Structure 1
């Protein structure tokens, strides 16, 4: 009976360690996701700020040699 209890305690200890590692991994991934979302928002804002306010026609896109 003692051997069985010891075996269960060892398994529980490993399971708790694994759970802690998984929680830390999920926490780090969530931080990375939030950082990437901030960067994406900043890039989107930069792109929108750099776009001209007026719409351009296709004639503006024709190369000068035509």
Structure 2
């Protein structure tokens, strides 16, 4: 009986106000994320070294 009730609650239509609130909350979460500017290769020696290593290895046939 509980399983049937749970499925009915999951499938029940949500009120428009709650849908709108959830959408706004998701939007705020997305806009709150700070963006990190990309560094040029000169300022990121680790990335440059990783690129060199990747260029030295033969392709394995599988996408990375």
Query: Whose relative contact order is higher, 1 or 2, with alpha carbons under 8 Å and at least 6 apart?
Result: 2
* Larger Rg, first or second structure (1 or 2): 1
More helix by share: 1
Q: What TM-score, normalized to structure 1?
A: 0.39
Q: What TM-score, normalized to structure 2?
A: 0.40
